[in-house]
Amino acid sequence: MIKAAIVGATGYTGVELIRILLNHPDVEITSLTRKGESISNISEAFPHMYNQLALPCNTLKNPEQVAEKADVIFMALPHCSGLDLTDQFLKLGKIVIDLSADFRLKDADVYEKWYKTKHTHPELLKEAVYGLPEIYKTDIAKAKLIANPGCYPTGAILALKPLTSGKLVKINSIIIDSKSGASGAGRSLSLKNLFPEVNENITPYNINTHRHLPEMIQELTGHKAKTAQITFTPHLIPVTRGILSTTYVSIQENGTAANVIDMYKDFYKDSPFIRILPEGIAPQTKHVYGSNYCDIGIFQNKEAHQIIIISAIDNLVKGASGQAVQNMNIVCGLEETAGLNLIPVFP
């Protein structure tokens, strides 16, 4: 059995990790920690966990004690708050899967520009592997530090990577329009996430200034690409889970939706969680709710010589905790789908 510790277990991604790992045939959760006060049982924070897991969630005071009981450590802390801890766990010989943005960007200067804080362990950026299994599976299998992708980048990169990998698109033509549920902002209190603010409202925000944008640039266009090459507009919508990304690209050659669909099916033929939908069918967030799937639909605007690619993911599963478990499966030599055969919840 793989022994797993979760650091930051009382956030949305932390509790989603618990839900998934409790149903994993090859994993035992050995430690839950948080930055707040200790609680005697995780069900005190999450009553839906009653009689599911009899573990306390302790204040993290001694990293060595956590490491002693774990093979893999999931870091589910906010951005910029787990850098030193990750370094300590790596020095103790543990595999670390980090769900924050702290190790996703390869350039420390870019990180410091977008996250407004100094990166205290830039030496680890070369060691970290970007944890998008559909693209970097071979590298993930050998990694000690895995940087779990952001939720918006997961949906957008999976939608666009087959075209950008083949250099079939004009990079400066890429437009990404994404809608996210409120859980993507985490559990911290915030005026913009209060029910009266979110309900019956759609709010665009951080237009082309969102901190996930450099991730998309890095993975779609190269590390040194200019920000202006991609247009990204995120929106907050009144749902709990889900991200729907509608991406628009001008292609270099005249291609039909049917041809692009065939290309995507071939590109993702070894990716069990990518579902390429039949021509004319558009993804919906409800069809991936609670699952690790990414559904992709492809359309064509002939007059504009444009291909429209739409992706749908659950932001807390494929966009965070499910993808982290998928990465754990790969790095630990387990079946990639272990513990993740989650049929979407409907309705």
Give per-residue pLDDT as tens, 50-103. Answer: 999 989 999 998 999 999 999 999 999 999 999 999 999 999 999 999 999 999
Q: Which residues contact 88 (CB under 8 A, 6 or more apart)?
A: 63, 67
Q: Determine the Cα angle at 186 with ends 183 and 187, to 5°.
A: 105
Per domain, the residue ranges of the chain are 2-127, 152-315
Instruction: Give the H or E element holding residue 197.
Output: helix 195-198
CB 126 within 8 A of CB 294: no
Measured between alpha carbons, how far is 52 from 62 in angstroms, rounded to an integer? 26
Measured between alpha carbons, how far is 240 from 258 in angstroms, rounded to an integer? 33
Measured between alpha carbons, how far is 137 from 157 in angstroms, rounded to an integer? 15
Residue 344, preceding peptide bond in cis (omega within 30° of 0): no
Kindly report the pTM of this predicted structure: 0.96
Q: pLDDT digit string (tens) for 127-178?
A: 999 999 999 999 999 999 999 999 999 999 999 999 998 878 888 889 999 9
- Does 3.30.360.10 match the CATH number of domain 152-315? yes
CATH number assigned to the domain with residue range 2-127, chosen from the 4 options 2.60.40.10, 3.40.50.720, 3.20.20.80, 3.40.50.12240? 3.40.50.720
Measured between alpha carbons, how far is 218 from 227 in angstroms, rounded to an integer? 10
Catalytic residue positions, numbered = 151
